[in-house]
Amino acid sequence: QIVATGICRTDDHVITGGMVMPFPIILGHEAAGVVESVGQGVTSIKPGDKVIPVFFPRCGECNSCLSTKGNLCSKNGFGSGAGLMPDGTSRFTCKGKAIHHFLGTSTFTEYTVVHEASVAKIDSAAPLEKVCLIGCGFSTGYGAALQTAKVEPGSTCAIFGTGGVGLSVVMGCKAAGASRIIAVDINNDKLAKAKELGATDCVNPKDFKKPIHEVLIEMTGNSVDYSFEVIGCTETMAAALACCQHNYGVSVIVGVPLAAQITFDPMLLFTGRTWKGSIFGGWKGKDSVPKLVADYMEKKFVLDPLITHTLPFTKINEGFDLLRTGK
């Protein structure tokens, strides 16, 4: 039973056609709930357990699962767009017609069916309406800073895009001890929230006539050590790469890129910069999610500032309108 689910831009990408999936489909992938019943052979979860669905399951056998460096299981089907359970079937029907699954989770429903590998058991005392964010948005941003970039104390960071995931990057940079955290967004309301969560500087590209990467280089005197693109736009990806230190800077792509090509000057990498991608913040889903929930319960980070609205399921379309208008 799904108790709470967050709305993520990735769900919207499917609705708008930016991310191609088969229809009809039940979207949603960032949630928390309570196990109602289990199928044959399920041993790690029992009815009554509080859980977070994990859209990054682990087979435990492929190269990525066996490596300490990887978290994207080769058998997980992320990006394959099949919209089915691991056994190639769907567990949803409406009026006799099959409905597709989304990322093995499908959380925009009162009840969902997931594979045992796609669910993590969490602390029974955790507030589900808050920790649901650990199912995607918070973990993705926080981990991009701590796990993927490995931000160092005293460093300078720039975060492009301060939605829920970008704000989580800000929190990750702060937790890592960065001395300067520059938030970049065209929405001043979001910049105010970034400041609240640890950003030391806020920059709105609309306030400048010159390219934003030049503004950041001037501001810092020597470029930033780490930059994060949390929008999914090729233009900002190129700017994030260009603003990080030419020899040892690290730039991380966190926002889901839609179908587009990127053209850049290879000299940007030749001088030593590192360009990385981060998916689900580099966390190994089923193992990491319960630990992140435990950290939340120990007050190592906050989630409340990431929650702007709480709506009943029947108003989900209003939730998407709020997302699209930057609210």
Provide the pLDDT for residue 260: 79
Most confident of 54-68, 81-95, 241-255: 241-255
- Three-class SS string for 123-187? CCCCCHHHHHHHHCHHHHHHHHHHHHHCCCCCCEEEEECCCHHHHHHHHHHHHCCCCEEEEECCC
Task: Tell me the pLDDT tens digit for each residue of 284-309.
Answer: 988 999 999 999 999 999 999 999 99
With a pLDDT cut of 90, the percent of the chain lying above it is: 85
Helix (H) or strand (E) holding 97: strand 97-99
More confident: 80 or 219: 219
Provide the pLDDT for residue 45: 96
Whether residue 142 is contained in a domain is answered as no
Q: Lowest-pLDDT range, 25-34, 220-229, 250-259, 297-306?
A: 250-259
Provide the pLDDT for residue 76: 67
Domain holding 119: CATH number?
3.90.180.10
Task: Tell me the pLDDT tens digit for each residue of 161-210.
Answer: 999 999 999 999 999 999 999 999 999 999 999 999 999 999 999 999 99
pTM of the model: 0.96
**Within this chain, do residues 32 and 109 fall inside the same structural domain, yes or no?**
yes
Provide the pLDDT for residue 77: 59
**Within this chain, do residues 170 and 205 fall inside the same structural domain, yes or no?**
yes
Q: Long-range contact list for 97-101, CB < 8 A, 24+ apart?
A: 97/24, 99/24, 99/25, 99/26, 100/21, 100/22, 100/23, 100/24, 100/25, 100/26, 101/25, 101/26
List the domain range (segments joined by +) for residue 199. Answer: 149-277
Task: Tell me the pLDDT tens digit for each residue of 9-20.
Answer: 999 999 999 888
Examine the fold and report which residue of 277, 292, 308 is the final residue of a domain before the chain moves on.
277
In the predicted model, what is the mean pLDDT of the chain? 94
- Count the alpha carbons within 13 Å of 257 in the hemisphere toward its beta carbon: 16
Q: Which residues pair with 2 in a beta bridge?
A: 33
Q: In whole angstroms, what separates CA 184 from the centre of its chain?
A: 18
